[in-house]
């Protein structure tokens, strides 16, 4: 994506320039009618402008009133522009990311393979779903697909921003490749799984630039509320005029328009769309592609989170943590034999055994054991090791496999072996037994380490009422230990793919919103069933198509942050809505006395701000109503700062900060504006 410097900037010069242009472009009534609140403001501007030139239609006469109508019209015009600008800034940030992504979508050449293996060079946009292509070192992968043969390193930095290449191979969960990425070693045969124009990159571009953005259910509900409030206040203003005439109060048409604009929730009306766009933008800048705004919003409502143990809660690589002797065996002998058996073991477990043995002072001379015959681990034997030149054998493996081997060779099983192995299992580790010929020396304690910081993060989720459930294929004993260490609320041991779906459905049947992560084909049904499904970009095409979010960095723990971003979106929308409705109160105290004080002197008691003149009061309220929109754009874009807490406490905090602030800020702002414009009002003889 874009570089980190640009990512960190709130707004660039280019976005600012384009947003100003878009703000004017959005003045088209066909576009404005999609935002009914601001459409009413635009109609008010047109009427005020018309009154400037032909005031007699409504009985508004006099040159001074022409100037007043013009000033009201200009302020309303600026109000609409500011609202359009807020939305344009949000869209501009997304379009800037989209342009960065489009640079990776080049006119790529594809090496199409026929049934005989012959290569035909064609343009990538001519590829069809099901075609097989060859991509070699230095080639750009022409479209999304699945690796059917070969193994190679693929540079995905154009999409993920991550510089480290990713290994791709046929079979398993790392067979999916994305169009626009580059092969940096070896070669792959790829079966195309997407038609031109509908690749993952194309979807990303469309979603990021907002072309596919649809309003979320909560956004639609709030928009409906704003429309209802607008209609109610429109009726109030229409009925106010005959009441004023009956009370012998002369109200200019522009004043009625100003009163309407100040009464309706223009602040949130101008920012609502920007808040929704910015929510998706924040997720995208976190390197997660949300397939819809609804997915982001659903994150904010999540009640239950289902997480895989391996790779999410734990690192997934079992690493050597200790060497435990049995019987009368010597600790150094156990360490040396374990190291020798692991010298040619390239697995993470094997490398960690050598590393731990070196730290603990092994006396093994590595050069002496270079040419030994290494026996690899298999699912059938469940052990590995080496055959020494003197005819003796060293093996390390599961408790069952090693004890069976020793018994066949007429060896004795140490009395304390089973107890030690069970103790390691209870700790959530894996016991790896070491034997030389028919003698058992001890156990290597392999530990699947819980990722640092997860305990605190799970506690944070618990504070906001989200339950966490760990899924693992481990036995119940090991699962319980890991669950306790990680701090999750529950676990499902010996979990199969269908068990995940069952768990999701159970939570959903209780009315809960469920989130989960996955990367394999077997995770696809569960990802589709969950309300929020986060698939790993390194995973299979099936998983990515089933999910409604894709993590470009393939970090399963990111679901924790994504949920908080969703919460932040909902809180931001709620906070600014509270502020918008609350600041109308101050505007009532500015305009109502200004309109009626002349005929009803008792109304002066409502002029708590001691505003200078009726016209300065109306114009001050109208100016504040306009300028508050751009002042709130940074909050709409960045979101209200979110801290995990109970919903009741969060509601109380927002009511105090944004509710009370929404009342106090306009009182201060309107008074300051009144002091500034009063001399101008008097010069224009509007007082």
Domain boundaries, the chain: 13-96+208-283+564-684, 132-191, 301-313+451-552, 317-449
At 507, list the tokens: 């939570």
Is residue 547 within 8 A of residue 527, CB to CB? The reply is yes
Phi and psi, residue 25, nearest 5°: -65, -35
The predicted pLDDT at position 434 comes to 95
Element at 214 (helix H, strand E): none
Q: State how far the alpha carbon of 91 is from the alpha carbons of 29, 39, 95, in Å.
A: 19, 20, 6
- Annotated binding residues for ATP, as ranges? 345, 349, 377-384, 396
CATH architecture label of 301-313+451-552: 3-Layer(aba) Sandwich (3.40)
The predicted pLDDT at position 99 comes to 61
Tell which CATH classification among 3.30.530.20, 2.70.150.10, 1.10.10.10, 1.10.1740.10 matches the domain 132-191. 2.70.150.10
Contacts by 528-535 with C-beta closer than 8 Å and gap 24+? 529/501, 529/504, 529/505, 530/306, 530/504, 531/298, 531/301, 531/302, 532/295, 532/298, 532/299, 532/302, 532/559, 532/562, 532/563, 532/566, 534/288, 534/558, 534/559, 534/562
The predicted pLDDT at position 10 comes to 56
Domain 317-449 fold: Calcium-transporting ATPase, cytoplasmic domain N (3.40.1110)
Question: Residue 656 has what DSSP assignment?
Answer: I
Instruction: Report the distance separating Cα 95 and Cα 207, nearest Å.
Output: 10
- Annotated binding residues, as ranges? 345, 349, 377-384, 396, 519, 523
Instruction: Report the distance separating Cα 60 and Cα 241, nearest Å.
Output: 14
Instruction: Report the distance separating Cα 655 and Cα 665, nearest Å.
Output: 14
Three-state DSSP state, 555: coil
Instruction: Report the distance separating Cα 568 and Cα 576, nearest Å.
Output: 12
pTM attached to this predicted model: 0.65
Residues involved in catalysis: 308
Question: Could you tell me which residues come within 8 angstroms of residue 32 by beta carbon, excluding any fewer than 6 positions away?
Answer: 26, 38, 39, 42, 80
At 190, list the tokens: 């790829």
Enumerate residue ranges in the chain where pLDDT < 50.
1-8, 211-212
């Amino acid at each position: 994506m874009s570089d980190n410097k640009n990512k960190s900037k709130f707004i660039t010069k280019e976005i600012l320039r384009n947003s100003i242009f878009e703000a004017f472009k959005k003045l088209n009534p066909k576009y404005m009618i999609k935002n009914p609140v601001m459409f009413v403001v635009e109609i008010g501007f047109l009427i005020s402008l018309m009154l400037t030139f032909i005031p007699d239609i409504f009985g508004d006469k006099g040159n001074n009133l022409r100037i007043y109508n013009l000033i009201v019209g200009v302020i309303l015009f600026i109000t609409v522009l500011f609202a359009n600008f807020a939305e344009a800034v949000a869209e501009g940030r997304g379009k800037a990311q989209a342009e960065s992504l489009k640079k990776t979508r080049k006119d790529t050449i594809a090496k199409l393979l026929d049934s005989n293996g012959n290569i035909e060079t064609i343009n990538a946009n001519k590829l069809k779903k099901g075609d097989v292509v060859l991509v070699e070192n230095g080639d750009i992968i022409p479209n999304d697909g699945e690796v059917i043969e070969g193994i190679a390193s693929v540079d995905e930095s154009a999409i993920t921003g991550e510089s480290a290449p990713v290994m791709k191979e046929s079979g398993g969960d790392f067979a999916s490749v994305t169009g626009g990425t580059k092969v940096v070693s070896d070669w792959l045969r790829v079966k195309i799984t997407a038609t031109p124009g509908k690749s993952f990159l194309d979807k990303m571009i469309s979603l990021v630039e907002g072309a596919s953005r649809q309003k979320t259910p909560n956004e639609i509900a709030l928009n409906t509320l704003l429309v209802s409030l607008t209609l109610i206040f429109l009726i109030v203003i229409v009925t106010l005029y005959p009441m004023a005439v009956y009370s012998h109060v002369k109200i200019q048409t522009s004043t009625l328009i100003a009163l309407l604009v100040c009464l309706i929730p223009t602040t949130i009306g101008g920012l609502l769309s920007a808040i929704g766009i910015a929510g998706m933008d924040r997720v995208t800048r976190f390197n997660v592609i949300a397939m819809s705004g609804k997915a982001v919003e659903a994150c904010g409502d999540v009640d239950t989170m289902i997480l895989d143990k391996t790779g999410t809660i734990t690192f997934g690589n079992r690493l050597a943590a200790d060497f435990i002797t049995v019987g009368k065996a010597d600790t150094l002998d156990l360490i040396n034999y374990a190291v020798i058996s692991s010298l040619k073991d390239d697995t993470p477990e094997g490398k960690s055994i050598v590393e731990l043995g070196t730290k603990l002072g092994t006396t093994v001379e590595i050069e002496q054991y270079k040419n030994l015959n290494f026996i690899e681990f298999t699912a059938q034997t469940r052990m590995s090791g080496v055959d020494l030149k003197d005819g003796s054998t060293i093996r390390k493996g599961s408790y069952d496999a090693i004890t069976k081997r020793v018994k066949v060779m007429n060896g004795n099983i140490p009395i304390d072996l089973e107890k030690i192995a069970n103790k390691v299992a209870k700790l959530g580790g894996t016991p790896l037994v070491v034997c030389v010929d028919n003698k058992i020396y001890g156990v290597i304690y392999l530990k699947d380490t819980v990722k640092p910081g997860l305990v605190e993060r799970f506690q944070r989720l618990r504070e906001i009422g989200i339950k966490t459930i760990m899924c693992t294929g481990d036995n119940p004993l090991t699962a319980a230990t890991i669950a306790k260490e990680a701090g999750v609320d529950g676990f499902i041991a010996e979990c199969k793919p269908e068990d995940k779906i069952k768990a999701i459905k159970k939570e959903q049947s209780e009315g809960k919103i469920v989130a989960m992560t996955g990367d394999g084909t077997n995770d696809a049904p569960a990802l589709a069933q969950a309300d929020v499904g986060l698939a790993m970009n390194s995973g299979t095409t099936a998983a990515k198509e089933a999910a409604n979010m894709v993590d470009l960095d393939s970090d399963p723990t990111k679901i924790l942050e994504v949920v908080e971003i969703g919460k932040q979106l909902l809180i931001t929308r709620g906070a600014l809505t509270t502020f918008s409705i609350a600041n109308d109160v101050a505007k009532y105290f500015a305009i109502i006395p200004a309109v009626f004080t002349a005929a009803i002197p008792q109304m002066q008691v409502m002029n708590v701000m001691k505003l200078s003149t009726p016209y300065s009061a109306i114009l001050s309220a109208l100016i504040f109503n306009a300028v508050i929109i751009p002042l709130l754009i940074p909050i709409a874009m960045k979101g209200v700062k979110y801290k995990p807490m109970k919903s009741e406490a969060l509601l109380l905090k927002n009511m105090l900060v944004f509710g009370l602030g929404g009342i106090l800020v306009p009182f201060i702002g309107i008074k300051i504006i009144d002091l500034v414009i009063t001399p101008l009002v008097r010069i224009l003889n509007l007082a």
